[in-house]
Each structure stands twice: as C-alpha cells, then as structure tokens.
Amino acid sequence: MNRIGSYSVFLIFAMLLFSTNALADKGQPSTKGFTWADSQHVLFDWIEISADPSVTQLSTPPDDDTLYTVNLPVDFSFNFYNRNFSTFYVSENGYLTFRNYGTTSSPSNNDLSASASIDSLIAVFWDSLRVSTTGNIYYAVKGTKPYRKAIIEFQDVTVVAPTENLGPITFEVILYETTNLIKLQYLDLGSLSIRERGGSATIGLKFEATTFDSLQYSVNTTSLSEGLAILFYPSDNLLTNSAISPAVVAPGTSQQSFKLSFTAIQFQLLADSLERMGKADVVSIKNPINKSTTDPITVTDVRVDGNSFFIMDTIASPRQLGLEGPYATWYYDNATDSLFIRTSTLAIRDSITIEFQEDIPTTPKKHEFKGLLYAEYHPLQGISFKENFNIIASVIDHYVFTPAGVDTFRAGVSKAFVLQAQDQYNNPVTNSQSVNLSSIGSSTVMFSRGTTVPFANSDTIMFSVSDTVAEDFRVLAENATNSNVTGLSGVQTVLPATPFALVTLSSTAPITVSTSRLLQVRVEDQYGNVHPDSSLKFKKVSAGDGQFSNGLDSIIVLTNSSGVGEATYTASSLTSYVGDTIQVSLGSLVDTIILPLQAGS
C-alpha cells in the first residue's frame, strides 16, 4: 500500500512493454482532476444506434435550437462530479446538460472556462447546428447492467452558416454506467471544412453547481477529425488496502489457490468530485517463486466491484480492451516473472479481487507478492503493494547466473555477473557457504573477487570477469564443499578491443618500377587480438603514377579472418619519383608504407 518506490522500478519497465500508451502526452487535468485522452490512446469504436429496435428518436426534423429531455432507466443513474443524475437534456446544438434550462438551447458556443456559459455541460460539438429533414438525433441504452451505456447519436446534422449550411456531420456521446466515463466519437465531418472540424465549436466539460470546474479539449479550433475518439476520465494518485489469502501455505501444494484483494480504492485528492468514477484497469504482480517455470500462474477469477468478469489468458501482452465491460485478460511475462491483469478501460472503481493458482515448493520460506494497481493511461499515479506468504527454503541444489544467456564483451572490459543459489524448486536459498569460480575454455580469465567467494548470509553474490584474449568461455560455479552443486553460465565471447595498431606484414624492400607487390597490413588491438571485417584504406600520398588493382591511387579493403587487409599495388614507372609512399588508415589509426623505387634489369 505504498506509493511507487524504488523497489518496484522493474514494474515500471515491464509496464512500458505492456502499455504502449503508458507515458504518452494527454490533456492536462482540470482543477478537480478531469482529464482527456484522444485517439492516440483511445480506441475509436463507433456504435450505430439509428437502426436499433430499442432506439428513441429525439428529434422531429426539421428542428432548430431544440432541447430534448432524456430519462435514463429507473435503475440507471449517471454520476457527474459526484452527483447522480437520471435525467439529462440534449441540445440540438451539439451538447447535453444535466441542468434543466427549459426550452432554451443555446446555438452560440463559448469558452468553458467562463462561468457565464451553460452549467453541468458536456459539449460534444457545441455550435449552431440544425437537424434537417435528412438528419436525426437518437438515444439508446445498450449493454447489460451494471455496465450499460447511454448513447446519444447526432446523425447527419448540419452546421448553420450565413450563406450555405455545412455538413452533414455525424457524431455521438456515450455515458458509461458504473465507471461514469464520458466518450465522444466523430464518424463523419462532411467536407472537412474549418467549421466542420470544430473551427467554431466547443468540445469539453463544465460543472459549477457546487464548485466551478471545466476541461476543454478545444474551442474554435480545427481539432476534430473523422475517426476521432475522446475519453474524459479522472486522473489522480490512487490509494487502496490490499490483502493476500491464505498467508500461510503448505509445502509442496499443487495448484495452491491465492486470492489477492484490493478494497477501498480511492483517489488521494479527488474524493469530493470524481470519486464515483473508474480509477484503474491494470494489476501487475511480481511472482516470487517458480522462476524457472514457464507460465507458472493460472488466473481463475477476476471480480471488479463485486461483479465477476469474463477472463481469458493471452500469449502476448494484452492491449486495450476498450470500454466494454465486464471483460479482463491476463498475461504472464516470463522475462520479468510478472503477472498482468488488464480489465476494460478504467473499469475498476472501488475494488478488485484476483484469484489465481500456483504450485508451491516443498520447503517453506517467506515470499512476497508485490506489484502495482494503476490506470494504463497514468501508471505513475498507481499504488504499489507488498503481500507476504510463508514457506521455507531448501538446501542448495544449483547456481544460476544473471545474465544467463550467450553474451559478448570486449577484451580488457569487465563483465558483471550475479550468481544466485537455488533449491531444487528454483527458490533462492540464503546461505553462508562459499563457491569456487573457474572458467571453461580459457586459461586467461580473471575474477574480480578471486576464485573462492562466500555468500555471506545471502542468496546471491556479485562478481565480474575480464579477459585479454579474444575467445569463447563459460563460467563454472562449484560449491566449495559439495562439487555436485554447480552452475554454468552461457557462452561468453570476448571480442577484440578497439583497434590499436596497424602492423605491416608485407615487404618494404625497394620495388622495381612498374612491378606489382601484394601489400599486407594486420589490424590489432592493444592486446594483440586481430580485427576481422575492418575497412582498411590504402592510399598513395606521394608523387608518381603508381596505382592499385582498381586503377586508382586508393582502395578500401576488408580485413580477413586473420585481421589482415591485402591490396595489390603497381609501383610508379620512373625512378625519378624516388619512392612511393602508401598511407594505410582505419579511422584515426594511420600508418605509412614507404617503397623505394629501383630500375628494372
């Protein structure tokens, strides 16, 4: 139940892999914490209701500056700024309000930050609009309680203009039951003129019944596009109580059931304004056991606010589910030994309980499930948790290297390892024994802490290795008192260090004019390791008409597997040139070959 701390940084990196939208820019929160995200992050998922059998046609075309009353079902109320509303009023001019203004429908939009504008307002496309004979405004309730949605569709309405009306345009607003989220969607913006894209419209929220707050997506700005979705939702740091059950498990239990619960989920600062809205949609759990087992956890139940969610597992990181509930996916990331549960967007309002199963090692030890509860849109506002259960560790069975796989590093550079002692079930084993370290495949590897290292009442030791010879080797860890307890690293390939010297192998004796000689230069690092596949440049820098095999006074060649670059050079034709000077270079490394010229026989 802690704010995100340094111990959970690993989860932040895991989240970034899990969520492509985790740290992207979004709207700045209003004073009371409302914010928005658009189609860069929100799924556009148009819901067409005009042909639905349960649809209510609000308009009676042609309508102009008309206000329509909508009564939600008796068991459906929408919470706006912590106030429940069962009735709202739809304006033909592209907005809805929870305040009864009688028959007044304002065609003149304004800046929502001004207190003089309409109160308790959701401005979807607030402008001077008209329902022509070919247009309509529809209302419908879709879905199943408690995750229904009230939808208002403005279909083929026109934008009133001084000379010729624009459009038709089609857009909708969706109010979500329980989570009380607000989503705007824009399907058709006519000819995409300035006004049809919002150039004289207001899009946003406003409330001032008890305290003033407003949030604008845009005002008199061409911010809209076809296929755009805008979600208005709360943004604040989370608080919660967490618990794990059972806290004590029997050794060796197969598919032990755990129940991880989060209750009293609330905002840190927004309790007086947006507390009844959805707050989170992701739970990440760092798994402390079964580290060498693939997908060791199975999720069996997810309950959100007391409601059972349909769940499924995925073989890859689950992406956004949209706002349709009640659905959840789960995914086990073996790279970080972490379980991720993802619900519909911001579906978690007050509580979530996750039931999962996992095999328990045979010997008890204290372990800790830790992780984060957060909203995918704002992971850094999440709340971290740590919950313990108890088993006991066994004797050391083997050692595990981190990093574990094949790797490369440069000659003369240190490579760091973490070595962990584990029991036969791959649980860490705290111990004070020593381990003998040696290398297989090399006699020149050096160990930073010597070849015998104590664990010193820990389950891990850290050390580094280095080598000056370009070669392959593996590190062997062997228990100092029991040679049957071992660990073996992945193959470590030592690459040559940075090129250090150019070594001329070919003869520098006088060369007969107009004859050819194969020039050979080897690239070495400071330890004498050769550099294959290096681009070596030979260039004649003296006077004379000597040239290389390409007919030019310079040539670039790749060094072979022995680090040798070869170039055939034909000497100048006159001894009066005295000698040919060849400059050999690789980056900042430069060497010179001088070939004195001599006459032929």
> Counting Cβ atoms within 10 Å, is residue 147 exposed (0-12), middle (13-18) or buried (19+)?
buried
- Both 511 and 550 in one domain: the answer is yes
- Both 406 and 383 in one domain: the answer is no
**Structure tokens belonging to residue 200:** 């004289």
User: What is the phi/psi pair of residue 87, to 5°?
Assistant: -135, 140
Give the whole-angstrom CA distance, residue 262 versus residue 1.
Answer: 10
Which CATH number characterizes residue 567's domain? 2.60.40.10
- Both 224 and 132 in one domain: the answer is yes
In a domain, 24, yes or no: no
- Both 407 and 370 in one domain: the answer is no
pLDDT per residue as tens digits for the range 434-479: 999 999 999 999 999 999 999 999 999 999 999 999 999 999 999 9
- Both 102 and 142 in one domain: the answer is yes
pTM: 0.63
Read out DSSP for 67-129?
EEEEE--TT--EEETTEEESEEEEETTTEEESS--TT--------TTSTTS-SSEEEEEESSE
Q: What pLDDT does residue 3 have?
A: 42
Q: What pLDDT does residue 27 have?
A: 85
pLDDT above 50 for 23: no
Dihedral, CA of residue 61, residue 67, residue 71 and residue 77, to nearest 10: 130
| Spatial contact of 228 and 312, defined as CB atoms under 8 Å apart | no
In a domain, 529, yes or no: yes
pLDDT above 80 for 19: no
**Structure tokens belonging to residue 5:** 């701390």
In a domain, 26, yes or no: no
- Cis ω for the linkage preceding 62 (within 30 of 0): yes
> Between the CA of residue 92 and those of 49, 58, 163, 229, what are the distances in Å?
17, 10, 20, 20
H-helix or E-strand spanning residue 491 = none
Residue 212's pLDDT band (cuts 50, 70, 90): confident
> Between the CA of residue 369 and those of 246, 285, 286, 366, 400, what are the distances in Å?
12, 6, 6, 10, 22
- Both 285 and 386 in one domain: the answer is yes
Q: What pLDDT does residue 393 have?
A: 60
In a domain, 28, yes or no: no
Long-range contact list for 306-313, CB < 8 A, 24+ apart?
306/351, 307/146, 307/147, 309/343, 309/347
Better-scored residue on pLDDT, 427 or 307? 307
**Structure tokens belonging to residue 277:** 């809205």
Residue 423's pLDDT band (cuts 50, 70, 90): confident
pLDDT above 90 for 25: no
- Both 354 and 383 in one domain: the answer is yes
Distance between terminal CA atoms of the chain?
A: 94
Q: What pLDDT does residue 22 have?
A: 42
Closest by CA position to 72, among listed 96, 36, 48, 38:
96
Lowest average pLDDT, out of 18-32, 158-172, 524-538, goes to 18-32
456: region left, alpha or beta (phi > 0 left; psi from -120 to 50 alpha):
left
In a domain, 22, yes or no: no
pLDDT per residue as tens digits for the range 297-332: 999 999 999 999 988 776 555 555 566 678 899 999
In a domain, 52, yes or no: yes
Handedness of CA 558, 562, 568, 571 (dihedral sign): positive
- Both 62 and 164 in one domain: the answer is yes
Q: What pLDDT does residue 394 have?
A: 63
In a domain, 459, yes or no: yes
> Between the CA of residue 563 and those of 472, 503, 581, what are the distances in Å?
18, 10, 22
- Both 427 and 574 in one domain: the answer is no
Which CATH number characterizes residue 459's domain? 2.60.40.3450
- Both 223 and 77 in one domain: the answer is yes
pLDDT per residue as tens digits for the range 186-199: 999 999 999 999 99
Handedness of CA 110, 111, 113, 119 (dihedral sign): positive
pLDDT above 70 for 154: yes
In a domain, 159, yes or no: yes
Could you give the number of structural domains in the chain?
4
Better-scored residue on pLDDT, 2 or 370? 370
The position carrying tokens 């003149």 is 108
pLDDT above 90 for 250: no
Range of the domain at 363: 2-17+237-390
Q: What pLDDT does residue 522 have?
A: 97
pLDDT above 80 for 364: no
Give the chain's mean pLDDT: 90
| Spatial contact of 282 and 375, defined as CB atoms under 8 Å apart | yes
User: What is the phi/psi pair of residue 12, to 5°?
Assistant: -60, -45
pLDDT above 70: percentage of residues in the chain: 93
CA 453 from centre of chain = 38
Q: What pLDDT does residue 7 have?
A: 38
Q: Which of 210, 234, 258 is the last residue of a domain?
A: 234
Instruction: Locate the DSSP E strands across 220-349.
Output: 228-234, 238-245, 256-267, 282-286, 298-304, 307-308, 310-313, 327-333, 338-343
Q: What pLDDT does residue 504 have?
A: 97
User: What is the phi/psi pair of residue 15, to 5°?
Assistant: -65, -40
Q: What is the β-pairing status of strands 589-598 and 511-512? A: parallel
- Both 414 and 562 in one domain: the answer is no
Q: What pLDDT does residue 316 have?
A: 58
pLDDT per residue as tens digits for the range 518-575: 999 999 999 999 999 999 999 999 999 999 999 999 999 999 999 999 999 999 999 9
Q: Which of 367, 390, 413 is the last residue of a domain?
A: 390
pLDDT above 60 for 277: yes
pLDDT above 90: percentage of residues in the chain: 74
Q: Which of 356, 390, 424 is the last residue of a domain?
A: 390
Mean pLDDT of 197-221: 92
Which CATH number characterizes residue 355's domain? 2.60.40.740
- Both 97 and 192 in one domain: the answer is yes
